Amino acid sequence: MEFSAQQIADFLNGTVEGDGVVKVGNFSKIEEGVPGTLSFLANPKYSQYIYDSNASVILVNNDFKPEREVKATLIRVENAYESLAFLMSVVEQSKPKRIGISASVEISTSAIIGKNAYIAPFVYIADDVKIGDNVRIYAHCSIEEGTQIGDNVTLYSNVNLYKYSILGNNCIVHSGVSIGADGFGFAPAVDGVYKKIPQMGNVVIEDDVEIGANTTIDRATLGSTIIRKGAKLDNLIQIAHNVEVGENTVIASQTGISGSTKIGKNCIVAGQVGVAGHLHIADNTILGAQSGISNSIKEPGQMIMGYPAIQMKTFQRAAVVHKNLPELQRVVYELQRKVEELQAKLATK
């Protein structure tokens, strides 16, 4: 299906510059644009590509000022990246959805399946599971007893939901995710042997959460591990038992969050961050990549980085000094030698 630049602009409350009649039927990156596609420019470092791009239509921010002529038709919007995401979501939602339950699925007689479900081959659904409407479950997923899944949820292949897990509406869970495995709970005995502590809680995933491939979220020892509404988790993240991730917080790949830590809402956690257990991270905190967080962050809105973690600007200044340490060491040794020479001369007088 094709749409004209003017139709797209009207849909986005944008403004057309150029040929409003030109039509597009697909998307492309700005540096690889081809005729008949729509692209976008949101990051200024890609501005160089807009002048030679062969995309027919390009979304730009309202404040974009071209340095020379642009061949493509421009649609000016408030936020080009957000507008592109909205368009792509509309296109994705308009695609036909599969429905029906494969004959090779094993479903308990006590399970409840909502309307318009799609359940692929080799899915296992245990006793007392409740699944909402318009849910899509792909091949080889396992849903253990007592689990509850809301409406419009997608589980991609090989997702494992342990018993009594709860997923809200509109969640997306990618392949290989494990939700509800036992937390890492062991007590050392007097003989030095570690005794397993039974993990009696569950995992609660609220509405509009997306979880990336091969991420693991452990069940609580008691109570619930909770991922709040709108949170987005990347691939390969470890969330330990009794952790709470706040609303609309985003966490990048290879981050590990230790048990019972509470992360506030609207936080940004970059890649390979390690967070110790039993901490509180305030709302709107930004944790830089590879940071090690060993103490609670009580003041909201801070940017933190490094190990031990400090203010990001302080870390950046310290990094410059660290880079120059060999030269600084040479200067110190030279000063030390001169001081010793002066002391020797004074001692002879």
Active site residues: 241
Structure tokens at 329: 């060491």
Burial class (CB in 10 A: 0-12, 13-18, 19+), 80: buried
CB contact at 8 A, 49 and 30? yes
Q: Tell me how crowded residue 122 is: count the other CB atoms within 10 A of its CB.
A: 16
CB contact at 8 A, 16 and 6? yes
CB contact at 8 A, 261 and 276? yes
- Report d(CA 10, CA 132) in Å as an integer: 35
Query: What does DSSP assign to residue 91?
Result: H
- Report d(CA 216, CA 212) in Å as an integer: 9
Q: Which of 208, 130, 204 is nearest to 167 (CA)?
A: 204
Q: Is the omega angle on the peptide bond into residue 35 within 30 degrees of 0, that is, cis?
A: no
Crossing angle of helices 325-348 and 312-323, in 10° steps, is 60
Residues 6+ apart with CB under 8 A from 306: 288, 291, 292, 315, 318
Query: What does DSSP assign to residue 297?
Result: B
Beta strands at 303-305 and 310-311: parallel, antiparallel or unpaired: antiparallel
- Report d(CA 185, CA 196) in Å as an integer: 6
